[in-house]
């Protein structure tokens, strides 16, 4: 389903995905991004799943432009996840999808991994 995009902004110049590892069988991921300078942005839609091509409805809705991170919990081992986001304008329209970030949960691993993607 294609949406008419009236809100023409660059969603994220830089996307920083920080993956926080846990000791359980599931993993938490913190996604963070840079807030656009466009005052029409009122929030974000976060999409994630095992195949970005099946993104139809947002997995998480962020209702504040000032909130620039979310925690996604209970990701399972030996599974690849794709993450993407859109900005939502004051007229309810979504921007184009950000760059898709893929992450494979490989199980227990101590420490913290930070990935920075710049366009």
Angle at the Cα of 111 (from 58 to 60), degrees rounded to 5? 10
pTM: 0.68
Question: Does the domain at residues 15-106 carry the CATH identifier 2.60.40.10?
Answer: yes
- Mean predicted confidence (pLDDT) in 86-112: 83
What is the overall mean pLDDT for the chain? 75
Share of the chain above pLDDT 90, in %: 32
Residue 13: both structure tokens together: 């110049």
- Mean predicted confidence (pLDDT) in 37-48: 94
Nearest to 34 by CA among 104, 91, 81, 85: 85
- Mean predicted confidence (pLDDT) in 7-29: 44
The CA distance from 53 to 82, in Å, is 9
The residue ranges of every structural domain in the chain are: 15-106
Tell me the helix, strand and coil percentages in the chain, rounded to 5: 5, 50, 50
Residue 40: both structure tokens together: 């029409």
For residue 49, the model assigns a pLDDT of 87
- Mean predicted confidence (pLDDT) in 46-72: 89
């Amino acid at each position: 389903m294609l949406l008419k995009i009236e809100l023409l902004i660059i969603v994220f110049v830089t996307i920083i995905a920080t993956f926080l590892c846990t000791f359980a069988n599931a993993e938490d991921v913190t996604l963070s991004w840079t807030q656009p300078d466009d005052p029409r942005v009122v929030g974000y839609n976060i999409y994630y799943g095992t195949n970005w091509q099946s993104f139809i409805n947002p997995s998480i809705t962020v209702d504040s432009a000032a909130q620039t991170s979310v925690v996604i919990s209970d990701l399972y081992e030996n599974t690849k996840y794709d993450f993407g986001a859109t900005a939502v304008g004051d007229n309810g329209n979504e921007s184009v999808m950000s760059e898709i970030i893929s992450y494979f949960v490989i199980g227990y691993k101590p420490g913290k991994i930070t990935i920075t993607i710049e366009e």
